[in-house]
Structure formats: C-alpha cells, structure tokens
Amino acid sequence: MRIVFPLFPGYTALDAIGPYEVLRFLPGAEVVFAAERPGPVPADSGALRITADAALGDIDSCDIVVVPGGPGSRALAVASSPYVRWLRAVHPATRWTASVCTGALLLGAAGILDGLRATTHWNSIDRLESFGAVPTGQRVVFQGKVVTAAGVSSGIDMALELAARIEDRTTAEAVQLLIEYDPRPPFDSGATDKATPAVRARAQELAADALARGASRTT
C-alpha cells in the first residue's frame, strides 16, 4: 500500500507529519515523500526540512495520496502547477485522495473537489468555492474516496478515521494508543466559533509574522 505525501516549499510540517505518524503503522504501508525533485524540502518555517525520497514525475500511481497545506500551497493552486498536474494524473486510480489544511486548494485546482463538500483551514475556507466545492466548517469531510481535513492538527483525526476505513476500528484505536493521541488542550480556543475576537486577531498577527520569518529563511 503506497502512501505518497507530495511536498512543496512552504508546506506546514504537522500537516504531513501528523498523518504520517498514523498511516505509517498500517500493515503493508510504504510511505513516500515526493517533490518536484528529490532532496530536502523546506517547510513554512524555513528552518525545518523533510527529505523527499522521489520525484513526482517518477510516481505514476499510488494507493493513497495525502496533500499537506501551508503558505506555499496558495501559489501552487493553479492548473499549470506541477503538483496540480500530478494530482490530476494519479487521482483516478487512487484508493483515497486526501488533503490537510490548504492542501485542499491543490485538490480544488486539480478539479477533484468540484461539486463536493470540503473543508480546509478557517483562514482559506472561502477559496474552496472558487474551485466548485461546497465549503463546510467540519473538521474532517469524507466524500467518496476524497477526504479533506481542516487546519493542521485535524490531519491526525483524518488519518485515524482513514485508518479505520482501510483496516478496522480496532487497528485505528491501536494506532491512536501508540501515538498516545488523547487531546486535552489547555485552552478551548481551537476553532473560530470558540475563539474571541481578540484571539482571532492575534492569530492573524502571529500567522503573518511567522510567514514573513519563514520567507526570509528560504530566500
């Protein structure tokens, strides 16, 4: 069971690593990190890199694809992007095509979300409509073999639900135990309908600052 994570400069690390830490435990799983060319691919922080094992052009099929999001996804969400062209080519034969956060924008640009309910990070959810998708604030959305997850940490939830469908609930719960995923957040502000206006404004400020610092490290 080949699982491919396409990486692009400016992805958010947890978007990929969260689902990876779940799906790698599935029996027979072969995880491949891919990019335009093999080698280290910088995350949005600029300081952290994951090494791509393969070039996208060398992968013509896979069982599961999980597209991470991040600031870099916004510029790539166009029909001419090599990532979008690759997704369009492999999607028809996948068992599951999934995204985390703004990875959904790449699925949308590939035409995969047309007419489907989908989710993404709260700060980009309005963009889904431009790709013919029906935006929803749900944390994880299954539409046939297409799965979209909301922002960053929701990729873990998505991967656990996916594990249960690929194997069974006991296996998925066993993986959840292995990674000791038992969320007990210190604050109840992890969704826009729970956060105060001050918290939402501060989140925007922090995101802009992090984006600027990441860009300075990768240029």
Domain ranges of the chain: 2-184
Exposure string (b/e) for 97-132, b if CB count within 10 Å is 16 or more? bbbbbbbbbbbbbbebbeebbbbbbbebbebbeebe
Helices 154-166 and 169-178: crossing angle in degrees, nearest 10, is 140
What is the distance between the alpha carbons of residues 12 and 102, in angstroms, rounded to a whole number?
9
**pLDDT tens, per residue, the chain with 219 residues:** 999 999 999 999 999 999 999 999 999 999 999 999 999 999 998 889 999 999 999 999 999 999 999 999 999 999 999 999 999 999 999 999 999 999 999 999 999 999 999 999 999 999 999 999 999 999 999 999 999 999 999 999 999 999 999 999 999 999 999 999 999 999 999 999 999 999 999 999 998 998 888 776 655
Report pLDDT for 210: 86
Instruction: Convert the pLDDT of each residue in 20-39 to its tens digit.
Output: 999 999 999 999 999 999 99
Q: What is the pTM of this model?
A: 0.94
**What is residue 136's three-state secondary structure?**
coil
Please name the residues in contact with 143: beta carbons below 8 A apart, sequence gap of 6 or more. Answer: 116, 117, 118
Using an 8 Å Cβ cutoff, are 45 and 17 in contact? no
Sequence length of the chain is 219
Place of tokens 């984006």: 211
Residues serving a catalytic function are: 101
Inter-axis angle of helices 154-166 and 13-23, nearest 10: 30
Fold topology of 2-184: Rossmann fold (3.40.50)
